[in-house]
Amino acid sequence: MEEMKKVPLFSDHQRLGAQMALFGGWVMPIQYEGILSESKWCRESASLFDISHMGEFYFKGDVEASGLERLFSCDIAKIPVGRGRYGFLLNDAGGIVDDLIIFRLSCDEFMIVVNAATTEKDFQVILSGLHGDSIFTDISAATAKLDLQGPKSREVLAELFGESIRQCPYFGFSKMDLFGSEALVSRTGYTGELGYEIYLKSDSVAECWRRLLQDERVKPAGLGARDILRLEMGYSLYGSDIDESTTPLEAGLGQFVDLSRDFVGRDALLGQQQQGLARIRVAFRVNSRRSPRHDYQIFRAGARVGHVTSGVFSPILGCGIGVGFVSPEAALPGLSLEIRHETTSMAATVVRLPFYTEGSLRD
Amino acid sequence: MELLYTREHEWIKIDGTTGVIGLTEYAVRQLGDITFVELPEVGREVRQFQILSSIESVKAASDIYAPLSGRVTTVNEALDTHPEIINEDAEGNGWLAGIEISEPAGKKALMIREEYDEYLRGLP
């Protein structure tokens, strides 16, 4: 039987009338009042997401001597204290074991934030790559995570938790006292809007959730809206767009890989770079309100050239949007594609990411 | 005027030899926000329980089946640009198409409201 884990706020979601569904082994809220209205609210005001299913690890030790540095595609030794960076754990073939954010808490301390379904796998991968005397622990169970995202999120947080949050730069974080409990608040997110991710102790998440929802600028949003918002930005979803059989180069995520230094999977990526890519990520807009969906097939001039990995109806653009993998010649912006599934066919046009460019992300 | 239902959650409002077809509120609640409606072609002959058109929501793409055999005479064009009308009023302004019924005998394979409600109670 499939594992069904509950987040600390499970009964809060039920009280709010959320539709719940299984996601990465967790019973999570998919929607409250409606997926489209929730995604609209996030782009206009501020939405609160319970993301407590995600995994968090704590590391303390020497990044180089411990071997930690070698495990990440990005150069974590160069992350300043108080900042985070997006990157990957890769396998020897360059395939993505997980995508993650790593925060530097102090000179020798890091917090690593990973996907829910991959938490246990990632922990073992990192643990087996470490040597010497370092501390490495899975703090997921004791850690809850709330995302407040939207153009009004900074105002809301500054009023509730103090003005210091205004100084937090993109991908920066600070430790704050939230209702008597220590929390880490980072200026990161998955929506393309100005926003914050709040890491706090599982036993104090309920108060923070309820207090934030008392603000009339804030409404709860579920994973359904989150999926639309992230795809409108072209952000990859692990398990859907990327997995162990895809490399960051194929997935259009080469800027999060530093090939000038040694790390697990680097040789494979260098080889791939030398030989050229057989397939690459493509982003396309459907020429109607139809939604492409995972595993729909992509055709170019009558020939199959790839498949869709994510697709939704974009409420802000008023059309279907999607990403997938195709042979490189089919990924040039402006090209016409056809998306097929059974008897359905939709015309689409290759575009550059992000789909949505008006977000408040950098405000 | 007669209102009948299918096991696939379509309704048909019958007035003489014409019928207006839509999706039930139950179906729409399951689908969530409707994002696209493929309207059938006017003039097309459809057979009972065969695919009439399709509908897409934020969660899934689904087929819509004809409750009775007939010829499509009219479609709700407002749904082209405002499919959300179905979420707002599934069993009224959110109608999909009108047909000229060719085989009224097919009605005996449909349910009246009480039977449909009973059918819904038996669903998981």
* Tens-place pLDDT, residues A116-143: 999 999 999 999 999 988 999 999 999 9
Give, as one character, the DSSP assignment of residue A53.
Answer: T
Burial of A160 (0-12, 13-18, 19+ CB in 10 A): middle
Give the Cβ contact number of residue A301 at 10 Å. 10
pLDDT attached to residue B11 = 98
Residues A49 and A62 grouped into a single domain: no
pLDDT attached to residue A156 = 97
The values of phi and psi at residue A287, to 5°, are -85, 30
| Mean pLDDT of all residues in A267-290 | 97
Expressed in angstroms, the distance from the first to the final Cα of chain A is: 46
Residues A74 and A218 grouped into a single domain: no
Residues A228 and A212 grouped into a single domain: yes
Q: Is residue A246 part of a domain?
A: no
- Residue owning tokens 């103090």: A162
Asked: is B2-119 a CATH 2.102.10.10 domain? The reply is no
d(CA A173, CA A195): 12
Exposure b/e, A102-123, CB count within 10 A at least 16 = b:
bbbbeebebbbbbbbbbbebbb
Residues facing residue A144 across a β-bridge: A200
How far does the CA of residue B61 sit from the closest CA of chain A (Å)? 8
pLDDT band at A38 (very low <50, low <70, confident <90, very high): very high
List chain B domain ranges. Answer: 2-119
- Is the separation of the CB atoms in A23 and A227 below 8 Å? no
CATH code at position A149: 3.30.1360.120
Q: Is residue A257 part of a domain?
A: no
Cβ contact B32–A31 (<8 Å) = yes
CA neighbor of A263 nearest in space, from A68, A132, A99, A106? A68
Residues of chain B with Cβ-Cβ distance to A228 below 8 Å are: 58
pLDDT attached to residue A298 = 98
Higher pLDDT pick, A161 / A354? A354
pLDDT mean across residues, chain B: 97
Using a pLDDT cut of 90, give the percent of chain A over it: 94
Q: Is residue A361 part of a domain?
A: no
pLDDT band at A24 (very low <50, low <70, confident <90, very high): confident
Q: Is residue A243 part of a domain?
A: no
Residues A95 and A132 grouped into a single domain: yes
d(CA A26, CA A228): 20
Containing B119, the helix (H) or strand (E) segment is helix B113-121
- Residue owning tokens 């890491």: A199
CATH code at position A61: 3.30.70.1400
pLDDT attached to residue A363 = 87
Cβ contact A36–B58 (<8 Å) = yes
| Mean pLDDT of all residues in B98-117 | 97
Residues of chain A with Cβ-Cβ distance to B87 below 8 Å are: 34
Residues A59 and A167 grouped into a single domain: no
| Mean pLDDT of all residues in A169-178 | 94
Q: Is the pLDDT of residue A3 over 80?
A: no
Residues facing residue A136 across a β-bridge: A59
| Mean pLDDT of all residues in A324-349 | 97
Residues A24 and A159 grouped into a single domain: yes
At A286, list the tokens.
Answer: 């459907």
Any A CB within 8 A of B29 CB: no
Residues of chain B with Cβ-Cβ distance to A35 below 8 Å are: 32-33, 58-59
Residues of chain B with Cβ-Cβ distance to A291 below 8 Å are: 35-36, 56, 61
Any A CB within 8 A of B56 CB: yes
Burial of B121 (0-12, 13-18, 19+ CB in 10 A): exposed
At B95, list the tokens.
Answer: 């109608």
Cβ contact A35–B58 (<8 Å) = yes
| Mean pLDDT of all residues in A37-64 | 97
Expressed in angstroms, the distance from the first to the final Cα of chain B is: 31
Domain span at A164? 5-53+141-233
Q: Is residue A268 part of a domain?
A: no
d(CA B116, CA B25): 12
Q: Is residue A173 part of a domain?
A: yes
| Mean pLDDT of all residues in B9-33 | 97
The values of phi and psi at residue A256, to 5°, are -100, 15
pLDDT tens digits for range A202-257: 999 999 999 999 999 999 999 999 999 999 999 999 999 999 999 999 999 999 99
Q: How far is CA A332 from CA A290, A327, A337, A350, in A?
A: 22, 10, 10, 6
pLDDT attached to residue A179 = 82
Nearest to A313 among B35, B54, B87 (CB): B35
Give the Cβ contact number of residue A138 at 10 Å. 19
At A46, list the tokens.
Answer: 């501020």
pLDDT attached to residue A2 = 60
What's the total number of domains in chain A? 3
Q: From A233, A262, A293, give the residue that closes a domain.
A: A233
CA neighbor of B45 nearest in space, from B93, B4, B99? B99
Cβ contact B36–A290 (<8 Å) = yes
Q: Of A10-14, A180-184, B98-102, where does mean pLDDT reach its minimum?
A: A180-184
pLDDT band at A181 (very low <50, low <70, confident <90, very high): confident
Residues facing residue A174 across a β-bridge: A185
3-state SS, one letter per residue, for B73-101: EEECCHHHHCCCHHHHCCCCCCCCEEEEE
Q: Is residue A242 part of a domain?
A: no
Residues A145 and A228 grouped into a single domain: yes
Of the ranges A129-133, A178-182, A299-303, the best mean pLDDT one: A299-303
pLDDT band at A80 (very low <50, low <70, confident <90, very high): very high
pLDDT mean across residues, chain A: 96
d(CA A279, CA A211): 47
Nearest to A34 among B32, B36, B83 (CB): B32
Q: Is residue A63 part of a domain?
A: yes
At A208, list the tokens.
Answer: 């923070």
CA neighbor of A247 nearest in space, from A273, A284, A227? A273
Give the gyration radius of chain B's Cα atoms.
13
Q: From A89, A105, A138, give the residue that closes a domain.
A: A138
Any A CB within 8 A of B77 CB: no
Residues of chain B with Cβ-Cβ distance to A37 below 8 Å are: 33
pLDDT attached to residue A132 = 82
Using a pLDDT cut of 70, give the percent of chain A over it: 99
Residues A49 and A162 grouped into a single domain: yes
Cβ contact A293–B61 (<8 Å) = yes
Q: Is the pLDDT of residue A1 over 60?
A: no
Q: Is the pLDDT of residue A263 over 60?
A: yes
Residues A286 and A333 grouped into a single domain: yes
